[in-house]
Amino acid sequence: MITIIDYQIVNLRSIQKAFERLGQAVEVTDDPQRIRRADRVVLPGVGAFRAGMDHLTRLGLVPVIREVIDAGTPFLGICLGMQLLMSESEEFGRHEGLGVIPGRVVRFPSGDPVMAGLKVPHMGWNTVAIRRPVPALAGLPQQGYFYFVHSYYVVPDDPEVVAADTLYGVRFASVLAWRNVLACQFHPEKSQALGRALLAQFATGAPVETAPS
């Protein structure tokens, strides 16, 4: 059973349907006990970092997420769900995150010359370049196109957790792989065949990392 965390920040139907099309049993819930019993857990999301953390806190899900990750349950963070795994975000002030992966969330430097001609938010298709082979990305091309919608990106303290990156003015981490945690800045449920392939890898048992770090 794949359990999608419902923390009232996003319409979850698209990611639910994406897994169901792969023949997977899926539940959407905010029940801590059901999340704890899950075989695999997905934290999706769009929108503001602070709102996401506020909802997780109000629902009592912050310790639950940390618990299932510590227990080794395969865990997938998508878009805002990826960002919430970090220590903190600079979005509209400084806000504490889940602290699962040390690092911060920063905004694209829209006034910087490197961003000349590029709009923020970063929206649309872009290349994801695999930088480190991990089982969860097996079978994907070295450079494939995925669909993005975001104004902020993650900067992990340890560059070794970056499995793939993307260039949009600056080069940023678009996939993180750490122990049993896989996180992607793009939306696999909107990324057609390659997105389905990534979700299938996660759903069917491919380990995220080759070994815990």
pLDDT in tens, the chain (213 residues): 999 999 988 778 999 999 999 999 999 999 999 999 999 999 998 889 999 999 999 999 999 999 999 999 999 999 999 999 999 999 989 999 999 999 999 999 988 899 998 999 999 999 999 999 898 898 899 999 999 999 999 999 999 999 999 999 999 999 999 999 999 999 999 999 999 999 999 998 767 775 445
Question: Does residue 208 sit within a domain?
Answer: no
Count of structural domains within the chain: 1
* Planar angle of CA 125, 76, 126, nearest 5 degrees: 10
| Domain of residue 8, residue span | 2-203
Question: Does residue 93 sit within a domain?
Answer: yes
Q: Round to whole Å and give the CA distance between 149 and 122.
A: 6
Q: Is the peptide bond before 74 cis (omega within 30 degrees of 0)?
A: no
Residues with active-site annotation: 79, 187, 189
With a CB cutoff of 8 Å and minimum separation 6, the contacts of 123 are: 148, 149
Write out the DSSP string of 117-144. T--SSEEEEEEEEE-S--GGGTTS-SEE
Contact assessment for residue 154 and residue 137, using Cβ atoms and an 8 Å cutoff: no
Question: Does residue 212 sit within a domain?
Answer: no
Q: What is the pLDDT of residue 212?
A: 43
Q: Round to whole Å and give the CA distance between 27 and 19.
A: 10
Q: Residue 18 sits in a domain of what CATH number?
A: 3.40.50.880
Q: What is the pLDDT of residue 9?
A: 81
Question: Does residue 209 sit within a domain?
Answer: no
